[in-house]
Amino acid sequence: MINLVLFGPPGAGKGTQADVIKEKYQLVHISTGEVFRFNMKNNTELGRLAKKYIEKGQLVPDQVTIDMLNAEVDKNPDANGFIFDGFPRTEAQAQSLDNLMNSKKSEITAMIALEVEDQVLVERLLERGKTSGRADDADEAVIRNRIKVYYDETAILKNFYLAQDKYFGVDGVGSIAEITDRLSGVIDSLQ
């Protein structure tokens, strides 16, 4: 079983690569944003709980997120593995994810981070902003702040996974196929 934490700053191509990698390796892609939206839309107990926090402008507690991820993992008992996207974001969350996977008699295989220079990210996001309709992709100051927040948050996680020999940085610049080949090289080396 291959369980990956996919990371990268905004605009690095995580969504694009997650779609390709999940098909190639027959993995289940779990995006915490999508899981939140699904649970809230379907008015599940966890969705209602998360909505209470979100409506107050508060972060959803880690345990609620872990419980949602646990439900997603349980929905896919025959999966070849999972790609976790958007979680963990803190060391406590990474430890919680490790505990969750251990309870399933599994583990996180690797954290793979797409590495892209800031100026390239800004250019990509401004370009995406022309078609995405997302306000946070249209303002360079907002984009630069999102990138800064990413680095502030993930520096800790990089060290967490480095300490376990599970961190792999991959050059996120090039064609989709070139980046997929680099990611595949890392994934293939893990099997």
Q: Which residues are annotated as a binding site?
A: 11-16, 32, 37, 58-60, 86-89, 93, 128, 134, 146, 174
Name the binding residues for ATP.
Answer: 11-16, 128, 174
Is 89 tagged catalytic? yes
Query: How far apart are alpha carbons 51 and 56 in whole angstroms?
Result: 8
Selected catalytic residue, list 128, 144, 158, 166: 128
CB atoms within 10 A of CB 37: 13
- For the beta sheet containing 2-7, the strands, ordered from the edge strand earlier in sequence to the opposite edge, are 28-31, 81-85, 2-7, 110-115, 167-171
Catalytic residue status for 124: no
Is 144 an annotated catalytic residue?
Answer: no
Task: Provide the 10 A C-beta neighbour count for residue 118.
Answer: 14
- Active-site annotation holder among 41, 48, 75, 134: 134
Q: Is 48 a catalytic residue?
A: no
Residues 92/55, Cβ–Cβ less than 8 Å: no
- Catalytic annotation, residues: 14, 89, 128, 134, 146
